[in-house]
């Protein structure tokens, strides 16, 4: 056999062996996107029933937000880490998942009124109000529950497909609100500002339950 032909045969055999080994590997990575942004993940198959999973996601989104008489510009900044166990009760592609989500989960809001605006039900001028700045902190972490379809370890070949649906079940967001207008240190204005903060906190409380819907592609190594 000529040397080039021999080398080609050896290379092809090595690639075939590597591909076959990867098909049976318990380790896989993925890329995915959805309501938590875009992300990457890794998973390790313990057996036909249990798979360990770790994901990192990033989501930034800006939008307007109305609370009482105030129009806020809002920016959502999520960079969550998820650690979960995916349980395949029927040893097929269907799974249920439970885990914990940690990392940055914040919403920042700011408003600069140009007309007389009610703060806590009391009218104030733009100069008296200045710029309103609020931050809603979703907390350091929260449990996650979900279910989905993942054929990473149930089909032949290195590549797989996954869909995940669920929710992050957090506590009520903690909201802070400040103002830098001419009445920033006025006791009466501070009372009105605290009422505004309470109204804002009530408006964002539904964010404690964050829906999760992801679609991704996986590859075994």
Per-residue pLDDT tens digits for 118-155 = 999 999 999 999 999 999 999 889 999 999 999 999 99
Ranges assigned E (strand) in the chain:
27-34, 37-45, 50-67, 70-87, 94-111, 117-119, 122-124, 132-137, 141-150, 159-169, 174-179, 209-220
Which residue in the block uniquely carries the two structure tokens 């797989």? 160
pTM value is 0.84
Which residue in the block uniquely carries the two structure tokens 């806020």? 72
Q: What Å distances lie between residue 41 and 37, 50, 69, CA to CA?
A: 13, 16, 42
Half-sphere exposure of 67 (CA within 13 A, CB side): 26
Distance CA 25, CA 32 (A): 20
List the structure tokens of 45. 């198959």
In this structure, are strands 132-137 and 94-111 parallel, antiparallel, or unpaired? Answer: antiparallel
Give the pLDDT confidence score for residue 74 in this predicted structure.
93
Distance CA 162, CA 149 (A): 5
Give the pLDDT confidence score for residue 5 in this predicted structure.
58
pLDDT below 50 — which residues of the chain?
Answer: 3-4, 6-18
Give the pLDDT confidence score for residue 7 in this predicted structure.
41
Give the pLDDT confidence score for residue 24 in this predicted structure.
83
Q: Is CATH 1.10.3720.10 what the domain over 25-220 is classified as, yes or no?
A: no
Give the pLDDT confidence score for residue 55 in this predicted structure.
98
Give the pLDDT confidence score for residue 1 in this predicted structure.
55
Give the pLDDT confidence score for residue 10 in this predicted structure.
42
Q: Burial of 1 by CB count in 10 Å (0-12 exposed, 13-18 middle, 19+ buried)?
A: exposed
Distance CA 154, CA 29 (A): 15
Q: Domain locations in the chain?
A: 25-220
Distance CA 155, CA 144 (A): 27
């Amino acid at each position: 056999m000529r040397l080039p032909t021999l080398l080609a045969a050896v290379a092809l055999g090595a690639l075939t062996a590597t591909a076959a080994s990867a098909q049976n590997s318990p380790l896989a990575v993925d890329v995915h996107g959805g309501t938590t942004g875009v992300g990457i993940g890794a998973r390790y198959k313990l057996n036909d029933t249990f798979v360990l999973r770790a994901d990192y996601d990033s989501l930034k989104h800006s939008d307007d937000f109305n609370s009482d008489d105030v129009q806020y510009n809002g920016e959502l900044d999520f960079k969550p880490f998820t650690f979960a166990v995916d349980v395949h009760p029927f040893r097929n592609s269907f799974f249920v998942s439970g885990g914990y989500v940690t990392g940055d989960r914040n919403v920042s809001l700011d408003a600069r009124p140009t007309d007389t605006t009610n703060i806590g039900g009391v009218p104030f001028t733009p100069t008296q109000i200045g710029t309103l700045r609020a931050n809603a902190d979703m907390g350091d972490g929260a449990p996650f529950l979900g279910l989905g379809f993942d054929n990473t370890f149930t089909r032949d070949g290195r590549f797989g497909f996954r869909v995940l649906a669920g929710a992050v079940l957090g506590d009520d967001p903690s909201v802070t609100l400040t103002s830098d207008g001419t009445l920033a240190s006025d006791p009466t204005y501070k009372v009105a500002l605290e009422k505004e903060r309470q109204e804002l906190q009530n408006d964002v409380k539904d964010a404690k339950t964050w829906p999760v819907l992801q679609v991704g592609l996986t590859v075994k190594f």
